[in-house]
Amino acid sequence: MKLKKIVKIAATAAAICLPMVGTAQTLRYNTFMPPLALESKGIQEFFAELKTATDGRVKGQVFVGGQMLGGQATLSGIRDGVVDAGFIIPTLNASEIPHVAMLPELLPFASNFWAATGATNETIMFNCAECKEDLANYKAVWLGGIGASPWHMMCRQPISSVDDLQGKKVRVTGGFAMRMISELGATAVSLPASEIPAAMQQGVIDCAVGTLSWLNTLGLINMVKGVIDEPFGSYHAIGQFVFNKASLAKLSPEDRKTLMQLIPKHLAKLNSAYAADEDKAREAAVQKGINFWKPDARFEEIMSAFRQKEPKAVAQDIISQGGSADAERIVRDHIATLEKWNKLAAEAEGNPDAFAALLNREIYSKIQD
């Protein structure tokens, strides 16, 4: 009888323990970016490494190209538990997360996209209580975002002076870009990136503002004849790692720690991939004979005057979306953080391992679980 009792107890214990050992947690991740986009490839690599690092306890199921949710619906999908995490472009949800959506609107102040990645995460994760509250309203936690390679203006005709921009129809997105193009004497046309090639080919637009990589990825290299060879700034606060709070809490402390340790590495890898894509596009453009115009003093004066006015304009945009009446303070705090990271990034820019270590030192090592 005693032996049977011992066997029964042992079997019960095994039944209790087995599911804990053998069950993997699958994190469903949504992105509306296409499968070959750098961000899509990057998140696949992240989850592959996370699975290995957790001995298979945590896996990712990535839905690309909007298979599960579109760009605007991802934030609500995270809130409702449709997915456990997702890729967020804050300006697509400006009325829902107005303070987070402020950051990409400050593109003209983000002169270095490596620095913009650091400043993005410091602002949202430490300096901006309103940003955290925005996300908390959607049961979301920001674990990592990026600054993309800088915007340039690419035109169907060569540009040799500000006068060449007068009356030109320029594709943009965002309130700040509409104002910026107007200051330069051109006419802003709001279009999604996917519509740029057809619009340029048909003469609906004369120029497009975006990353140089679009010369290759969107096929603009066959239409563009001139590029303004000065970056307007980095479109940043792109949410590569935005998680549902409850989904994150279900991970064991050990696995959650592993996930957090991998994020700075993969943010740095993504920045490095952006840099490589930009270099390839520039090289291809030079070989194609595309003219690169170095802006003159008049252009610089216009842009300087624009930047002086822009903090108040962005703050007003936040307020109009239901944000804090103290929006200008939040704006200026982020600009100061960008300036701080311009200095910090100088020690690691271009080196993904060094930049990952910098992110860990300045941000991720300071996070309290």
The two tokens of residue 264 are 């700075």
CA quadruple 354, 358, 361, 363: dihedral sign: negative
Secondary structure element (H or E) that encloses residue 264, with its range: helix 253-288
The two tokens of residue 258 are 């592993």
pLDDT per residue over 186-200, tens digit each? 999 998 888 999 999
| Cα separation, 153 vs 189, whole angstroms | 13
From first to last of its 369 residues, what are the pLDDT tens digits of the chain?
444 443 344 344 433 343 344 468 999 999 999 898 999 999 999 999 999 999 999 999 999 999 999 999 999 999 999 999 999 999 999 999 999 999 999 999 999 999 999 999 999 999 999 999 999 999 999 999 999 999 999 999 999 999 999 999 999 988 999 999 999 999 999 988 889 999 999 999 999 999 999 999 899 999 999 999 999 999 999 999 999 999 999 999 999 999 999 999 999 999 999 999 999 999 999 999 999 999 999 999 999 999 999 999 999 999 999 999 999 999 999 999 999 999 999 989 899 999 999 999 999 999 986
In degrees and rounded to multiples of 5, residue 352 shows phi and psi of -60, -35
CA quadruple 97, 44, 197, 295: dihedral sign: positive
Q: What was the pLDDT predicted at 368?
A: 82
The two tokens of residue 340 are 């701080």
pLDDT per residue over 111-125, tens digit each? 999 999 999 999 999
Secondary structure element (H or E) that encloses residue 154, with its range: strand 151-155
Domains recognised in the chain with CATH numbers: 24-149+234-286+324-366 (3.40.190.170), 152-232 (3.40.190.10)
Q: Whole-model pTM?
A: 0.90
